Amino acid sequence: MSINLESLSAKELDALINQAKKRKTTLAKRKPLATVRSKLTQLARAEGYSIAELFGTGAASPRGPKATKAAPRKAAGKSTSKVAPKYRNPANPSETWAGRGKQPRWLAAQTAAGRKLEDFLIR
């Protein structure tokens, strides 16, 4: 987040300082992340679960089988597979585009300047 301090009035600066102090106080009152994580892990173990089972990709609980969910269905016409890039930025070879979706800014700027899309094809 970038705030241009030069453009703020004295009243706006005071309000910003007060907001920052409140946020700093709130953060200072929080316990360290490692402490909270440890407490959650201990509580989950005491109840017979693991953190992975409660919040993500966990194995079945020792208490019994985990309820199964139906597999999510893909939206019609939507593909989630990766596609090899077809176009490359000659100024920065790490920037590529597969030809799907909106053109990247670097390519849109070049085509707007009069270059052809074929100029950027990866051979």
Report pLDDT digits (tens) over 13-22: 999 999 999 9
Quick: pLDDT tens for 81-100. Answer: 788 999 999 999 999 999 99
Average pLDDT on 90-111 reads 92
Confidence grade of residue 72 (pLDDT, cut at 50, 70, 90):
low
State yes or no: pLDDT of 58 exceeds 50: no
Q: Is residue 65 part of a domain?
A: no
Residue 82 resides in a domain: no
The helix (run of H) or strand (run of E) holding residue 112 is: helix 105-112
Range of the domain at 50: 8-55
Q: Is 81 exposed, middle or buried (0-12, 13-18, 19+ CB in 10 A)?
A: exposed
Say if 21 falls within a structural domain.
yes
Share of the chain above pLDDT 90, in %: 50
Count up the domains in the chain and report the number. Answer: 2
Tell me if 18 is assigned to some domain.
yes
Q: Which of 96, 100, 95, 94 is nearest to 81 (CA)?
A: 100
- Report if pTM > 0.85: no
Residue 25 lies in a domain: yes
Is 29 within a domain? yes
